[in-house]
């Protein structure tokens, strides 16, 4: 039997110090990128825009988000599930306010070695891709 695949859209949102915003859902112990599942008829950018508003009270235009890539990994909080993620990146200028199912947020230093508290998608695939992109941009 093949695993259930969740289709999601997430964002690497960087602050002025070059740190990435990570969030933790209520009742979980793993930090992940903000975002969530696509609803019927939504594009990944539309879903991400909706999720950022619902979870963090952020209003970002889709033009502020650049594609980082498409990734597949084990789901962090759903055993036996996988995620297919369209990941975007952008710069965050405003304040973040956790709401909905988000219990906490943190700022992740990109050069940190401690990554055991991060979702598999984030530490196995997205962070290396983000570091490559930022290095290429100089």
pLDDT in tens, 109-129: 887 666 678 999 998 999 999
For the chain, the domain total comes to 1
Range of the domain at 24: 4-137
CATH of the domain at 107: 3.90.79.10
Instruction: Say whether pTM exceeds 0.85.
Output: yes
> Hey, what long-range contacts does 126-133 have (CB within 8 A, 24 or more apart)?
126/10, 126/12, 126/33, 126/68, 126/71, 126/85, 126/87, 127/20, 129/68, 129/69, 129/71, 129/87, 130/12, 130/20, 130/68, 130/89, 133/68, 133/89
pLDDT in tens, 37-57: 999 999 999 999 999 999 999
């Amino acid at each position: 039997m093949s695993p259930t695949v969740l289709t999601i859209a997430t964002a690497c949102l960087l602050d002025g110090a070059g740190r990435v915003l990570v969030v933790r859902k209520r009742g979980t112990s793993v930090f992940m990128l903000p975002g969530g599942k696509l609803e019927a008829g939504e594009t990944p950018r539309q879903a991400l825009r909706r999720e950022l508003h619902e979870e963090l009270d952020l209003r970002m235009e889709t033009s502020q988000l650049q594609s980082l890539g498409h990734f597949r990994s084990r789901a962090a909080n759903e055993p036996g599930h996988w995620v297919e993620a369209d990941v975007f990146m952008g710069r965050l200028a405003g304040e973040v306010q956790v709401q909905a199912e988000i219990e906490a947020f943190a700022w992740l230093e990109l050069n940190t070695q401690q990554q055991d508290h991060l979702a598999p998608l984030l530490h196995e695939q997205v962070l290396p891709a983000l570091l490559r992109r930022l290095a290429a941009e100089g």
